[in-house]
Amino acid sequence: MSEKQEKNQEKPVYIAENETTDAGMDTFFADSPVSANQNTGTVKQGMSRNLKILIAGILVLVILGAALTILLLLSKQQEDSQPIDTDSLAEQLLDDEDKAILVNPEKSEDLQEIEISHSGNSENFRVYLQTPAIDESNAIYTIEGLEDVTLDTGLISTLVNNASELSANSLVTENIPDSELSKYGLDQPLADVIMHYTDDTDFAFSVGNPFPMDNSATYCLINQNLYLVKTSLMANYQKASSSFVSSTILEDPGEENQPIVETLRIARENLDYDIVLEYDEETASDDTVGGTASHHKMIEPVPVFLNVEKSSDIISSMFGLTAVEVAQIHPSESDLIRAGIDHPFCTVTMQCNDSNQYILHFGNSYTTENGTAAYYAYLEGVNLLYGVSESRAVWTSVLPGDIHSANIFNTYVWDIADLDIVTDSQELHFSGTGTEASDYTVTKNGETCDTERFRLLYRFLLNIYGDELFFETELPAGDPDVEISLRTQDGKENYKITFYQTSALNGIIACNDIPTYKIRSSCIETIRHNLEIFDNPDEEFILTWQ
C-alpha cells in the first residue's frame, strides 16, 4: 500500500465540540442529543448532523474502494512485468538523498580502465589510466589509439567520475526478462560500459532510453535490474571516441606564462607580399608611451607602428585558438590534399622567445553541418584536421591597413638627443639632454633655445599621421621637400622620415627611404610654416592641416 493510501485509510473522523464518542455512536440513526446549555425551544433549519455523518461515511467508503482498485491495478502491472505507475515514478525522480540507491560503491581514484561499446555505430574504445596522480597533480586518462592527439581532459574525467560511486534514482524492477528490454531501449543499448578497478572489481551497466515522463532520468540496466539514473551522468558514455578530442588547437598558457611572440609572418595566396610583425623590445621597455603603442611593429610590407587594439588578436590569438569542429583525426595525405592543406590559402608562422615555433595552415573554406562558415586548418606537429570559423581565422583576411598605427613619430620628447629638420629653405638642428621637463635642456643650431617651444614643435610632429599606406617601392625622383632625422640619447632609435610632394594636393612619407604613407600636401606646407615661426613665441604652432 502506498504512503498516500495509508494516509487516506487512517484519516480520523473528527468529533464535534461538546460531543462524546459514545453519544455519536449510540445516536447514529437517531436524533442528536442536546447539550445542557443549548436552547431546546429554538429549531435551526438545515442539514441534520446525522445526515452529514452519513455522507461523510459514504465518501470514506468511496475513497477506500478507489485506493483498493489502484492497488489491484498496480499489483497486476507488476505481475505482467509492466512499468510501474509513471506518476509515482515521477515523484521519485526528485532530488531526495534518502531515496538514492547506491549501485556502485567503487571510487574514481581506484579506476584503471573503462571499456565502452556502442551498438548503434559498432564502435568499441578503451579509456585507460596513463599517468597516476602524484602529489597535487591529477591522474591522466587517455583513449587507446588517440595518445598522439590532445584530448579534452575535462570531458574524459566525466567518464571516470560519473559512474564511480554511482547512485540510482529508483529501482524500476528486478530481474527483468530479456523479452522486456526493448521497451526501455536496452535490447540495443546506447552504450555498454565496463569499469575496471584496482581491486579487480568490475562494474558493468547498459544505458537505455530516457524516461518518457521526465528526460532528466534514463533507464539503466545493472545486473539484470532496471534502474532510473540521472541522464546527465549517462550522457557522455554515449559519445563517440572522437568527441573526446580537444577542439583547442593551441593551449593558452595564461597571461603570466604566455611567451613573447618575437615574429609573426602571414603568407597568403591573395597577397603579393607577406605581413611580418616583429617584437620591438625598445617600445616594450619604454613605459612612457603608456598603452598607446603596441609592443610590436610591422616590418613588412612597410615599416610602421601598430595599433595596439587592432593588432593584439593578430599577434596573440593563436594561443587558445579553438576550432568549431575536429574535421578529421589522423588525416591521411589525401585528406590534407582534399582540404587544401598541401597548397594552403594562408600560412601563419609564429616564433616565440621560448624557442618554440608554430606553423598553422588554412586550406579550403567550407560550411559545417550547422551552417558555420569555416576554413580547414592544420597545425604542424598535431595529427588533426580542424575546422576554424572564419571569424576566428583572423589571419585569412587581415590587411596591413587594418592594424597599423597612422602615427609617424612615437619617440618620447625627453629621450631625444638630436632632431634635424631640413627643408628647401631652412635647416634646424636641435640637440637635447636630460630626462624630464625639469632638467631637459635643448639647443638650436648650437645656441640655447626655449625648451617649451621645442616641446610644442615636437608635439606638432607627433600629430602627423599617414592617410593610408603606400605600397610603391620606388621613391619619387629628386630631393625630398622635408627631411627629419631623429636620434635618441641612448642611441637605440635612429631613423629618418622624409616627405615628398607628388602633386598639388598629395604627397608621400618614407621611413628610412622606404615609401610608407600617402599624405596631403598641406601637411608639408604646415611643417614649413611652423619652422618659420619657431623663433616667434607670440605665434602658436598650427597643429592640424586638414
Q: Whose grid coordinates read 515523484?
A: 91
Using CA atoms, how far apart are residues 228 and 222, in angstroms rounded to an integer? 10
| 219 domain residue, yes or no | yes
Verify that 192 and 280 share a domain, yes or no.
no
Contact 296, 306 (CB under 8 A): yes
Verify that 481 and 519 share a domain, yes or no.
yes
| The pLDDT value given to residue 78 | 44
Contact 274, 255 (CB under 8 A): no
pLDDT, tens only, 175-211: 999 999 999 999 999 999 999 999 999 999 999 999 9
Contact 314, 403 (CB under 8 A): yes
Nearest to 375 by CA among 359, 396, 358, 352: 396
Cell of 462: 607627433
pLDDT, tens only, 14-23: 333 333 334 3
Verify that 110 and 74 share a domain, yes or no.
no
| The pLDDT value given to residue 540 | 94
Q: Whose grid coordinates read 533507464?
A: 219
Verify that 216 and 143 share a domain, yes or no.
yes
| The pLDDT value given to residue 436 | 93
Domain assignment of residue 445, given as a range: 413-532
| 39 domain residue, yes or no | no
pLDDT reading at 69 higher than 80: no
Predicted confidence band at 66 (pLDDT cuts at 50, 70, 90)? low
Contact 396, 345 (CB under 8 A): yes
Predicted confidence band at 521 (pLDDT cuts at 50, 70, 90)? very high
| The pLDDT value given to residue 80 | 44
Verify that 109 and 225 share a domain, yes or no.
yes
Verify that 130 and 103 share a domain, yes or no.
yes
User: What's the rounded mean pLDDT across residues 57-73?
Assistant: 51
Nearest to 404 by CA among 485, 473, 309: 309
Boundary of a domain, candidates 342, 377, 403: 403
Verify that 72 and 21 share a domain, yes or no.
yes
Contact 360, 252 (CB under 8 A): no
| The pLDDT value given to residue 95 | 47
The beta strand positions in 7-109, using DSSP E, are 101-104
pLDDT, tens only, 387-428: 999 999 999 999 999 999 888 998 999 999 999 999 988 999
| pTM, rounded to two decimals | 0.72
Number of domains in the chain: 4
Task: Transcribe 391-407 into DSSP letters.
Answer: TT-GGGT--HHHHB--B
Query: In Å, what is the CA distance from 143 to each residue of 18, 176, 245, 381?
Result: 79, 33, 9, 19
Boundary of a domain, candidates 336, 368, 403: 403
| 50 domain residue, yes or no | no
Sign of the C-alpha dihedral computed for residues 332, 337, 342 and 347 taken in this order: negative
pLDDT reading at 3 higher than 60: no
| 340 domain residue, yes or no | yes
Using CA atoms, how far apart are residues 83 and 290, in angstroms rounded to an integer? 71
User: What's the rounded mean pLDDT across residues 288-292?
Assistant: 46
CATH code: domain of residue 477: 3.30.1490
User: What's the rounded mean pLDDT across residues 71-80?
Assistant: 44
Boundary of a domain, candidates 403, 426, 444: 403
Verify that 175 and 274 share a domain, yes or no.
no
pLDDT, tens only, 218-277: 999 999 999 999 999 999 999 999 999 999 999 999 888 999 999 999 999 999 999 999
| 31 domain residue, yes or no | no
Task: Give the largest CA-CA distance in the chain.
Answer: 134
